[in-house]
Amino acid sequence: MGKINLPLLETERLYLREVEESDTYDMYEYAQLPNVGPVAGWEPHISPSYTKSVIKMFRNKYQYGQLGVFAIVLKSTGKMIGTVELHTYVKGHKAELGYTVSPYFWGNGYAYEASKAVIAWGFDELMLKRIECSAYTTNFQSNRVCEKLKLTYEGIKRKGYMLYDGSVHDVSCYSITDDDFYSMVRKGEW
């Protein structure tokens, strides 16, 4: 599969664009914190150079048939405050939504706003049939984003994820189908 160029998506308060090397310091600012990565399944970043290598990996995901990662950028300041993506992509079928927002910006609805735009892109442009999202059962903020997005709760995958440190966690599973999405669009609920 060739590279799918990520579009520039715009919401009321955000720009979503492919993550760039110039985002290194903004990303490191939050990715190094102990309360960010582990609740999303990844180890805290140990240095800006490590963050730079993660960004390089994000930008090369297309080599493995994946889409890449959007940077969440505040329109008001140009600051990159997080990432959002559709990963585990299967062309014409499904993908999994993932998002991270700097805790300095939690509680403002940015993960919801960015995810909503990426879900619409997934159905309208990628012609997906299903978008899934999983979160640790203890990650109340992430579970709340899924609920606000009106994703259907499908249950708990018991011992469904092993963290980088070997610990095993239950995950809440959510999804939205193209039928769900277009029904909400028609009703003006999206």
pLDDT tens profile 92-142: 999 999 999 999 999 999 999 999 999 999 999 999 999 999 999 999 999
Rounded Cα gap, residues 80 and 91, in angstroms: 28
Beta bridge partners of 45: none
Residue extents of the structural domains in the chain: 9-186
d(CA 101, CA 179): 28
For 128: left if phi > 0, alpha if psi spans -120 to 50, otherwise beta; the answer is: beta
- Residue 34's pLDDT is 93
Residue pair 70/50 in contact (Cβ under 8 Å)? The answer is no
- The pLDDT tens digits for 5-57 are 899 999 999 999 999 999 999 999 999 999 998 888 899 999 999 999 999 99
- Angle of helix 140-148 relative to helix 110-124, nearest 10 degrees, comes to 50
Which architecture characterizes domain 9-186 according to CATH? Answer: 3-Layer(aba) Sandwich (3.40)
* Rounded Cα gap, residues 74 and 45, in angstroms: 22
The two tokens of residue 101 are: 């927002």
